[in-house]
């Protein structure tokens, strides 16, 4: 399992760079991860990321965009604005979570 350094901390990641240990993440790291992929975090961005973190903890898996919309209360259209082109993957990366498995 590869490791990488984010924000001065060494963390475990998978081969693609997604964090694999839930508890190694904190919001400063999230900010660094976002910067690395060119996403500037605003309160709205954080709302989505925090939802992902909470939902992962509760459900045991990363929510799909649809779930972020229906359960997280953020409009799908808006998710594509906040995290352009690949919202599900970008959110998961910034939140230090694996890519969602679900299809929808």
Partner 1 sequence: MTATEPTTATGPMIVPSFDDDEQEGRKLAIICSKGNLDMAYPGLILANAALGEGVEVHLFFTFWGLDMISKAHMDDLKFSPVGNTAAHMPQAITPMPGMTTMATKMMKKSIADLDVPEVPEFLDLIKASGGHMWACRMSVDMNHMTKDDLWEGVDDIINASDFIVLTNGAQLLFI
45 or 67: CB nearest partner 1: 67
Question: According to CB under 8 A, which one of 24, 50, 54, 69 is a site residue for partner 1?
Answer: 69
77 flagged as catalytic: no
- Mark the segment that binds partner 1 (CB under 8 A) among 40-48, 50-58, 60-68: 60-68
Question: According to CB under 8 A, which one of 21, 22, 26, 35 is a site residue for partner 1?
Answer: 35
> How would DSSP label each residue in the chain?
--EEEETTEEEEB-TTS-B--GGG--HHHHHHHHHHTT----HHHHHHHHHHHHHHHHHSSPPPHHHHHHTT---HHHHHHHS-S-HHHHHHHHTT-PPP----
44 lies in the binding site for partner 1 (CB under 8 A): no
* Interacting residues with partner 1 (CB under 8 A): 2, 4-8, 10, 13, 15-18, 28, 32, 35-37, 65-67, 69, 75-77, 80, 84-90, 93, 102-104
């Amino acid at each position: 399992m590869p490791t990488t350094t984010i924000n001065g901390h060494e963390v475990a990641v998978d081969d693609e760079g997604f964090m694999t240990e839930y508890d190694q993440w904190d919001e400063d790291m999230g900010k660094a991860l976002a910067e690395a992929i060119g996403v500037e975090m605003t309160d709205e961005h954080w709302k989505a990321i925090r939802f992902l973190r909470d939902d992962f903890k509760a459900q045991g898996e990363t929510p799909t965009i649809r779930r972020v919309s229906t359960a997280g209360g953020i409009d799908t259209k808006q998710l594509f604005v906040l995290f352009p082109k690949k919202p599900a993957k970008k959110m998961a990366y910034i939140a230090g979570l694996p890519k969602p498995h679900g299809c929808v």
